[in-house]
Amino acid sequence: MSNANEEYIKAIVNGDNPGLQRIYEDFLPRIRYLVTTNGGREADAQDVFQNAIILIYEKAKKPDFKLSSGFYTLLHGICRNLWGNRLQKKSFKEVTIPEQLKYSSEDDVQADIEQLEEQNVFWESFRQLGADCQKLLRLFFDKEKMDKITQLMGFGSVSYTKKRKFQCKEKLVELVKSDARFEELKTKD
């Protein structure tokens, strides 16, 4: 792996703002061109680019991560797959990506893309909950004990906290299931 490639990965993993700025300056115009010449808008390009950076971050944090290509090859391949996936979902039919433009890797990039989509549906639904539900569920996700959550939330009893947690989880499930992407993701399993 070349020094520049290592620097890009380190910038992403460490959240290095100047390094991330350089990645945006060096590569966003190319990804913008990829997306806008294939039916997308500027906002779509930004979204695809940011999701690709998130995927690279998640991959690079794994101890067995090895960059087997150039950084741009990885970024471009992930962006191409993300955008192709989005086009496919918009049109509800198979999108044909020319073979020479497809990205291949030992990693299952498609599975990563689907996982990212699932996370997006979950967190977008989560943000639609009221502030109290968000706070209660975050404490629960952080594995706080019920008596501690009761105290932090200012509730009168642990049984009321359990009831509220159940109600908040039910509302979250309802929001996730009402998202149009939920059925598409469910059928992939």
Residue 106 is classified by DSSP as S
pLDDT above 60 (res 54): yes
132 Cβ neighbours under 8 A, 6+ residues apart: 153, 164, 168
Find the mean pLDDT for residues 56-79: 85
Give the CATH class of 3-107: mainly alpha
CA distance to 46, 60, 68, 79, per residue, from 30 (Å) = 11, 22, 21, 10
Share of the chain above pLDDT 70, in %: 78
Does position 187 have pLDDT exceeding 60, yes or no? no
User: Residue 109: its pLDDT value, please?
Assistant: 58
Which residues, 6 or more positions from 14, have their beta carbon under 8 angstroms from its beta carbon?
none
> 121-188 — its CATH code?
1.10.10
In this prediction, residues 167-189 reach a mean pLDDT of 76
Task: CATH 1.10.1740 in the chain: give the residue spans.
Answer: 3-107
Question: SS3 helix, strand, coil % of the chain, rounded to 5?
Answer: 75, 0, 25
Q: What is the pLDDT of residue 100?
A: 39
Q: Where in the chain is the domain with CATH 1.10.10?
A: 121-188
pTM: 0.51
pLDDT reported for residue 21: 92
Q: Could you tell me which residue, 181 or 139, shows the higher pLDDT?
A: 139
> 109-160: per-residue pLDDT in tens?
556 666 667 777 777 888 888 999 989 988 888 888 999 999 999 999 999 9
Average pLDDT of the chain, as a whole number? 80
Residue 39 φ/ψ region, left for φ over 0, alpha for ψ in the -120 to 50 degree band, beta for the rest: left
Question: What is the pLDDT at residue 124?
Answer: 81
Examine the pLDDT at 26 and tell me if it is beyond 80: yes
